[in-house]
């Protein structure tokens, strides 16, 4: 007979991200962040490859990333509104954790499984931050898909890429919940 964990199930049934624009200080200290990162690392990881790593971005680093994003957006000829939105993701933030997908050479574990593991880390990190009482959200954006930005701003190695930027802080308000998927419409039951 299974041993249910009603509190955990209630958390998963009601959890929701918080928009980055409502996150402010205080943010988790390094000491607060270690158990959140530790929980995030407890994901499916076939072959125990750890095909991901964390880059914790504190306020000074985020301001530097904002300037790199502003410059790169202009160099790429982007429209000003898109540049500003990408820049604000860093300029307005106080703490973010970049989850970096790290390729691991192996014949046993397909690349897609390594990528899915990195995605699981992003969700694990988001949920661990929320379960710890912080507001959090998972973002990406044009800048994290730009190799030049990632090399200059994050010093990523060849083959590495950002799976997600998890912003963590204190929420200033709780926006209304969004409509959720119709699970019945998305589920097929196969009996034979």
Q: How far is it, in rounded angstroms, from Cα 103 to Cα 43?
A: 16
The token pair at 148 is 């030049």
Look at residue 175 and tell me whether its pLDDT is greater than 90. Answer: no
Look at residue 114 and tell me whether its pLDDT is greater than 90. Answer: yes
Query: Which value, in Å, is the radius of gyration of the alpha carbons in the chain?
Result: 18
Average pLDDT over residues 152-173: 97
CA 12 vs. chain centroid, Å, equals 17
Q: pLDDT class for 174, splitting at 50, 70, 90?
A: confident
Look at residue 123 and tell me whether its pLDDT is greater than 90. Answer: yes
- Give φ, ψ of 13 to 5 degrees: -75, -20
Q: How far is it, in rounded angstroms, from Cα 88 to Cα 71?
A: 13
Each residue of 9-28: pLDDT tens digit?
A: 999 999 999 999 999 999 99
The secondary structure of the chain as a DSSP string is -----HHHHHHHHH-----GGGEES----HHHHHHHHHHHT-S--GGG---EEEEEEEHHHHHHHHHHHHHHHHHTT--HHHHHHHHHHHHT-SEEEEEEE-----SSS-HHHHHHHHHHHHHHHHHHHHHTT-EEEEE--GGGG-HHHHHHHH-PPTT-EEEEEEEEEEES--PPPPP---HHHH------
Domains and CATH numbers, the chain: 19-60+95-172 (3.40.109.10)
Each residue of 42-83: pLDDT tens digit?
A: 999 989 999 999 999 999 999 999 999 999 999 999 999 999
Q: How far is it, in rounded angstroms, from Cα 143 to Cα 45?
A: 27
Average pLDDT over residues 116-134: 98
> How buried is residue 29: exposed, middle or buried, by Cβ count under 10 Å (0-12/13-18/19+)?
exposed
Average pLDDT over residues 161-167: 98
The token pair at 50 is 């750890």
Q: What is the pLDDT of residue 120?
A: 98
Q: What is the pLDDT of residue 1?
A: 86
Q: What is the mean pLDDT of the chain?
A: 96
Average pLDDT over residues 118-135: 98
Q: What is the pLDDT of residue 111?
A: 93
Q: How far is it, in rounded angstroms, from Cα 7 to Cα 2?
A: 15
What's this model's pTM, rounded to 2 decimal places? 0.95
């Amino acid at each position: 007979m299974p041993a249910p964990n009603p509190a955990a199930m209630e958390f998963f049934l009601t959890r929701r991200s918080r928009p980055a624009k409502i996150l402010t200080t205080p943010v988790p200290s390094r000491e607060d962040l270690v158990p959140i990162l530790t929980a995030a690392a407890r994901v499916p990881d076939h072959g125990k490859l750890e095909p991901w790593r964390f880059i914790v971005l504190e306020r000074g680093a985020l301001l530097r990333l904002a300037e790199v994003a502003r410059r790169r957006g202009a160099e790429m000829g982007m429209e000003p509104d898109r540049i500003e939105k990408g820049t604000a993701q860093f300029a307005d933030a106080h703490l973010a954790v970049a989850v970096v997908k790290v390729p691991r050479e192996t014949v046993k574990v397909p690349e897609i499984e390594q990528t899915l593991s990195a995605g699981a880390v992003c969700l694990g990190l988001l949920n661990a931050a929320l379960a710890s009482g912080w507001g959090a959200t998972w973002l990406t954006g044009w800048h994290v898909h730009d190799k030049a930005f990632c090399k200059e701003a994050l010093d990523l190695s060849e083959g590495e890429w950002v799976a997600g930027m998890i912003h963590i802080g204190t929420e200033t308000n709780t926006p209304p919940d969004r409509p959720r998927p119709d699970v019945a419409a998305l589920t097929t039951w196969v009996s034979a």
